[in-house]
Structure 1
Amino acid sequence: MQRIPDPNVVFPNSYGTTCFLKNVITAPNILVGDYTYYDDPVDPTGFEKNNVLFNWPEFGDRLIIGKFCSIASGTQFLMNTANHRISSVTTYPFHVFGGAWEEHTPPHLEQLPFKGDTVVGNDVWIGRESLIMPGVKIGDGAIIAARSVVTKDVGAYHVVGGNPAKFLKKRFSEDLIDLLLQVKWWDFAPEKLVGILPLLCSSDLEQVKKRLQDIVATL
């Protein structure tokens, strides 16, 4: 019987720096898929506390991260409550300081702009010390270069980088991207996934494309 890595353990290997995130998340508005890991030599299990900033679940936004994502050390996600009111002549948050200021201003959370959920697809690689801004949607298979500040949505299998992050290239041809999005290998049962690992790790993209076409034909 094959030994397949268990998605329900905290530390899946002997390094001690790699943590399967879903097993250490407690906030109800942070959802993480199987096998997505965070790597940090200092505190990998502290991701929720150290890397998801200004998270107040009662505000209504969520951080949703898919399966098989690789999140490098120092990556941070900024949630919606990090924002300030921008519809008035001042952005200063008088209300949070209490007293007469609180009495003469609307409730703080009600004043903040809401940009919706932050969503990361499957098989996304986020480089070291990147910052993902509130409400951003990152497609399946995307790559975020190290120290990027992601302020806009990122397409599936796109590579972006910089501050602010800009489109650099597509990883593959449109045909191959379309096949990958149809196959959705990240949803395969563990035993079936083992069988196509050589294909997923092959650099012969033409052969990969042919095999994926065969798989799509059976779906």
Structure 2
Amino acid sequence: MSKPNIIIGDYTYYDDPEDSEDFERNVLYHFPFIGDQLIIGKFCALARGVTFIMNGANHKLDGFSTYPFQIFGNGWEKATPQPEALPYKGNTIIGNDVWLGYETVIMPGVQVRDGAIVAAKSVVVSDVPPYTIFGGNPAKCIRQRFDDQVIRSLLEIAWWHWDIEKITRNLETIVAADIEALRHCE
């Protein structure tokens, strides 16, 4: 990654047969003067066409027109809003072990928490709880992947923070669904 305001964790991948190396083309309206970050955790699977809309896409909402007249110059730049007058929703954060399906769109300031899954072609406009499956436009909760107690345990265990040797030794347990076995990994 060449942009310092895009942070991607280890082992996260972007699946695009055309050009998986040019992931930044999927991060839209991400202007340095705004200062927002896209933070993606470890072990995430990002399907082809996943798009992140950042805070630079926001228009001033409190006037009669939202049109950005200033982009045309010729005296119209007098209508340029100050950055603090534009809506700002914060950093966009994708947790660890998250799967974002084909052509998912993540809107500014959204947090998709650890272990979540977002269905293909969804538009995520609000935060996604951990280990929850979201889908649709706007994306809504379809179901939790596990019961609350298992989710709490998974978040406490946080296997994605283990050293890679421990992960390698325990791959079969990590991909299984036996929380007691996962608790006892060494």
Instruction: Quickly name the TM-score band, shorter chain normalised.
Output: over 0.9
Give the structure-2-normalised TM-score: 0.95
Match of 2:10 among 27, 34, 37: 34
Is the Cα–Cα contact under 8 Å of residues 51 and 104 in structure 2 kept in the other structure?
yes
Give 5+ residue unaligned stretches, structure 1.
Answer: 1-24
Give the structure-1-normalised TM-score: 0.81
Give 5+ residue unaligned stretches, structure 2.
Answer: none
* 2:94 counterpart of 1:124: no
Q: Match of 1:91, as an amino acid?
A: T
CA–CA distance in structure 1, aligned partners of residues 8 and 52 of structure 2: 13
CA–CA distance in structure 2, aligned partners of residues 152 and 83 of structure 1: 16
* 2:125 counterpart of 1:151: yes
User: C-alpha deviations, 1:17-62, integer Å up to 9, x for none?
Assistant: xxxxxxxx111100000000000011111110x2001111221110
Aligned Cα root-mean-square deviation (Å): 1.4
Corresponding residue for residue 15 of structure 1: none
**Residue identity (%):** 49
CA–CA distance in structure 2, aligned partners of residues 40 and 214 of structure 1: 36
Corresponding residue for residue 181 of structure 2: 211
Corresponding residue for residue 32 of structure 2: 57
Q: Match of 1:75, as an amino acid?
A: V
CA–CA distance in structure 2, aligned partners of residues 122 and 178 of structure 1: 15
Count of paired positions: 186
CA–CA distance in structure 2, aligned partners of residues 210 and 144 of structure 1: 27
Corresponding residue for residue 82 of structure 1: 57
CA–CA distance in structure 2, aligned partners of residues 190 and 66 of structure 1: 15
CA–CA distance in structure 2, aligned partners of residues 108 and 74 of structure 1: 32
Is the Cα–Cα contact under 8 Å of residues 120 and 138 in structure 1 kept in the other structure?
yes
Q: Following superposition of structure 1 onto structure 2, how do residues 95-110 of structure 1 map, counting pairs within 5 Å?
A: 95-103=70-78, 105-107=79-81, 109-110=83-84
CA–CA distance in structure 2, aligned partners of residues 176 and 110 of structure 1: 42
